[in-house]
Amino acid sequence: MMNYQEVLDFLYTQLPMYQRVGKVAFKKDLTNTLRLSESLGHPHEKFKSIHVAGTNGKGSTSHMIASVLQSAGFKVGLYTSPHLRSFRERIRVNGEEVKESFIADFVNHNKLIIEEIAPSFFEITVVMAFEYFSQHQVDIAVVETGLGGRLDSTNIITPELSVITSISLDHQDMLGNTLKDIAKEKAGIIKKDVPVAVGKLPDEALEVIRQVAKNNQSFLSEPGKELNFGGWNSDLSPEVLKLNLETVSRSIGLLKKRGMNISEEDFKNGIEQVVQRTGLKGRWQKLRSSPLTICDVGHNEEAVAWLMSQIGNINYKNLHIVWGSVSDKSVEKIFPLLIKNCEYYFCAANVPRAMKVEVLEKWAAEFGLSGNIYNSVDDAYRKALGNADKDDLIFIGGSTFVVAELKDL
């Protein structure tokens, strides 16, 4: 029998993991997930669920919905990916991370079928989450997709509600080169007669979603007027709140229409304590006040453009940006978005997919960004802290893996 650490080593080394190796880990159908689920008696059929997809915002939206439901007294499962610090972050019940003993037992008991099916890392973690939620008899689980939607391992569920937060260009090598193609993949989570809430989408993507919703006789909730969230005392940053609150509000409205008892007070309390209730990290997260230090996991074009505009709204003396990327991101589209008038600290996270610092340095020179390269995220971060005055701003981002290695997280 393997212990917890041995089980993690087995999962990370034996199974292809997208976060580490990229595209080769992406499976193009649901066969493995369905076979694994069948071997466990279809645990995903034993609880209600909410399915959340989107290019950006799906993680924070999932956490916000989960927090509101917890506030209303429901026992709530939450499945998200990737994790930042610990594998256990991926699977939670009422904000509490899955126990090491459950993970070890699950893999030990199912090792033969895992070796027979040879699933990806993501396929096994999805089924592990569903089994955990089933055993804990959750009232409802909020399930975030990994990549896309149609062929994502999470897409074996039939939820109470589908949510698509945003659609922009990302993972084109797997999801398609146009917004319409990507919208078709995300729209794959829309199920017959199940309502769907969408965030602000580009017209060509919205057109696809409307057609798929119509074909499935699914009620479609589109953005209305922006909510006034001034005066909300949330532990989430106002920036993240503003991006997702209106979509979350309509999502909760649709759940109420389906008979879930959620009051205005539950909604307010849930939104005020998202981080406290769910443990959300890395979304416009303030790490220090002096110098003001902020990190964010956003890494595609839409997210980076938004991050740079948020930085532009802050009063600071000098700007220091600790930046790393992964090798399969289109840096030629990302780098033109980066603020030029600042000091960069280029680094690579300790994962095989990380872009080498020499490559980052080459791109930086091409786009007129000045800075130095560092051996690790920690080296880059410590140098930025050492160089910054109390009125300066330090921002850390470019990749989930860069943020994950921050000691201050």
User: Residue 125 belongs to a domain with what CATH number?
Assistant: 3.40.1190.10
Give the list of residues 6+ apart from residue 303 with CB closer than 8 angstroms, or none.
56, 296
Position 113 in a domain: yes
Position 143 in a domain: yes
Percent of the chain with pLDDT over 70: 92
Mean of pLDDT values over 133-161? 94
Summarize pLDDT for 111-144 with one digit per residue, the tens: 999 999 988 888 999 999 999 999 999 999 999 9
CATH number for position 303? 3.90.190.20
CA pair distance 329, 42, nearest whole angstrom: 36
Residues 241 and 324 in one domain: no
Phi-psi region of 137 (alpha: psi -120 to 50; beta: other; left: phi over 0): left
Summarize pLDDT for 57-112 with one digit per residue, the tens: 999 999 999 999 999 999 999 999 989 989 999 999 999 999 999 999 999 999 99
Q: Check pLDDT > 80 for residue 17.
A: no
Task: Output the pLDDT for position 232.
Answer: 73
Q: What is the pTM of this model?
A: 0.91
Check the CA dihedral 222-175-244-87 and report its sign: positive
Task: Output the pLDDT for position 256.
Answer: 97
Task: Output the pLDDT for position 186.
Answer: 92
Domain boundary residue, one of 260, 278, 296: 278
Position 387 in a domain: yes
Domain boundary residue, one of 233, 249, 278: 278
Residues 178 and 99 in one domain: yes
Position 332 in a domain: yes
Gyration radius of the chain over CA positions? 21
Position 390 in a domain: yes
Residues 292 and 252 in one domain: no
Residues 52 and 73 in one domain: yes
CA pair distance 269, 201, nearest whole angstrom: 28
Residues 228 and 294 in one domain: no
Task: Output the pLDDT for position 226.
Answer: 67
Residues 175 and 266 in one domain: yes
Query: Quick one: how far is CA 347 from the chain centroid?
Result: 22
| 197: three-class secondary structure by DSSP | strand
Among 61-65, 143-147, 259-263, which stretch is predicted with the lowest mean pLDDT? 143-147
Residues 95 and 186 in one domain: yes
Domain boundary residue, one of 216, 244, 278: 278
Task: Output the pLDDT for position 309.
Answer: 93
Q: Check pLDDT > 90 for residue 351.
A: no
Here the tokens at position 249 are 């509000």
Residue 85: domain span: 4-278
Cβ atoms within 10 Å of 376's Cβ, excluding its own: 15
Q: Check pLDDT > 50 for residue 176.
A: no
Residues 119 and 150 in one domain: yes
In which residue are the tokens 């396929």 written?
123
What domain count does the chain have? 2
Q: Check pLDDT > 50 for residue 173.
A: no
CA pair distance 219, 147, nearest whole angstrom: 24
Q: State the average pLDDT for the chain.
A: 91
The continuous run of DSSP H or E covering 294 comes out as strand 292-295
Residues 222 and 320 in one domain: no
Position 351 in a domain: yes
CA dihedral 68, 198, 136, 29 (to 10 degrees): -160
Residues 122 and 153 in one domain: yes
Q: Which of 390, 270, 396 minimizes the C-alpha distance to 325?
A: 396
Residues 314 and 187 in one domain: no
Residues 67 and 206 in one domain: yes
Position 409 in a domain: no
**Strands 76-79 and 91-93, sheet pairing:** antiparallel
293 versus 28: which is more confidently predicted?
293
Position 119 in a domain: yes
